């Protein structure tokens, strides 16, 4: 298989990546045939996936604008994936040109592409790291050198916690991050769910399981627990399209079809 010029050395072109599948669903170009094949397999049993991903990105953009409206100008996006149109620093800067954004992802392609996009941007940084090691993220030069953790930060955990199994203790990871944040900080979360669906999506979950990234569906109550220590902003934890929809929202139909919960909390 020919290696694209943008692909970092050492990337296994035979193994699908969650970040690159996401990029494919959103119509991006930074994915390989192995990612597209896995994505097409998932689409056979979950054809709404592209719409779900667009709804997730639309929620993220609304939440970032809300954070800026709350006076927050620092953003820590963990599990940021491959930046596409309307990424965090674009949305935040449109609302406040002084916004600072630190992107964190474990996928080397996502990190390499992010580095190319932000080259020369002194108010944006990118770090390759695993959410399972929050202390390393917070203490890294990329994050600690860019963000002032003594001031409010908007922590984005968008479409990432559902890749943590219960054995990874995701609530403890979120609590560790929360305890480091200053009062006035925000937590922005979206998370996959099968509540409201017509039947289980076991076949689709098996696609992610076989590629080493099991997709863990959680209930509304379980997602609400991630906000312990935060005050939830109205309307609370709701389906993606129900969180403060605006004139730009494109989502339509039954909110449950988007198979995800979203919420915004303030410490």
pLDDT tens figures, 45-84: 778 788 888 899 999 999 999 999 999 999 999 999 887 7
- The pLDDT assigned to 234 comes to 97
Q: What is the pLDDT of residue 264?
A: 98
Dihedrals phi, psi of 209, to nearest 5 degrees? -65, -40
20: pLDDT strictly greater than 80: yes
Q: How far apart are CA 224 and CA 26, in angstroms?
A: 27
Q: How far apart are CA 209 and CA 24, in angstroms?
A: 19
pTM for this one? 0.88
Q: How confident is the model at residue 25 (pLDDT cuts 50, 70, 90)?
A: confident
Instruction: Report H helices in 78-148.
Output: 88-95, 108-118, 134-139, 141-144
Per-domain boundaries in the chain: 18-237+259-266
pLDDT-based confidence at residue 109 (cuts at 50, 70, 90): confident
Across 51-55, 219-223, 257-261, the highest mean pLDDT is recorded for: 219-223
* pLDDT level of residue 211 (50, 70, 90 thresholds): very low
Task: Give the integer Cα–Cα distance in Å for 195 and 176.
Answer: 28
H-run or E-run covering 158: strand 154-158
- Answer for the pair 219, 164: CB distance below 8 angstroms, yes or no: no
pLDDT band of residue 206 (cuts 50, 70, 90) is: low
> For position 247, what pLDDT does the model report?
66
- Give 31's pLDDT tier (boundaries 50, 70, 90): confident
Q: In angstroms, rounded to a whole number, what is the distance separating the alpha carbons of residues 209 and 130?
A: 18
Mean pLDDT computed over every residue of the chain: 87
For residues 15-25, give the mean pLDDT: 84
Distance CA 58, CA 62 (A): 6
Q: Which of 5-14, 24-33, 86-95 has the lowest mean pLDDT?
A: 5-14
Which tens digit of pLDDT belongs to each residue from 145-201? 999 999 999 999 999 999 999 999 999 999 999 999 999 999 999 999 988 654 445
CATH class of the 18-237+259-266 domain in this structure:
alpha beta
């Amino acid at each position: 298989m020919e290696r694209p010029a943008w692909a970092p050395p050492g990337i296994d072109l035979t193994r699908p990546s969650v970040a690159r599948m996401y990029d494919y669903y959103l119509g991006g170009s930074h994915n390989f045939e192995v990612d597209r094949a896995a994505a097409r397999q998932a689409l056979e049993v979950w054809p709404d996936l592209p719409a779900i991903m667009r709804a997730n990105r639309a929620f993220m953009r609304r939440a970032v604008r809300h954070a800026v409206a709350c006076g927050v100008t620092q953003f820590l996006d963990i599990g940021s994936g491959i930046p596409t149109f309307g990424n965090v620093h674009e949305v935040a800067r449109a609302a406040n040109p002084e916004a600072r954004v630190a992107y964190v992802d474990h996928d080397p392609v996502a990190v390499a592409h992010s580095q190319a996009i932000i080259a020369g941007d002194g108010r944006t940084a990118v770090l390759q790291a695993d959410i399972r090691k929050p202390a390393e993220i917070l203490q890294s030069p990329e994050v600690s050198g860019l963000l002032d953790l003594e001031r409010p930060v908007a922590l984005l955990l968008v479409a990432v916690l559902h890749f943590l199994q219960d054995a990874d203790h995701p609530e403890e990871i979120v609590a560790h991050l929360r305890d480091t944040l200053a009062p006035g900080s925000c937590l922005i979360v979206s998370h996959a769910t099968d509540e409201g669906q017509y039947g289980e999506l076991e076949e689709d979950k098996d696609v992610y399981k076989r590629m080493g990234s099991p997709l863990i569906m959680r209930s509304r109550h379980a997602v609400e627990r991630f906000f312990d220590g935060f005050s939830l902003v109205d309307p609370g934890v709701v389906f993606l399209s129900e969180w403060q929809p605006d004139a730009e929202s494109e989502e339509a139909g039954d909110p449950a079809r988007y198979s995800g919960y979203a919420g915004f909390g303030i410490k």
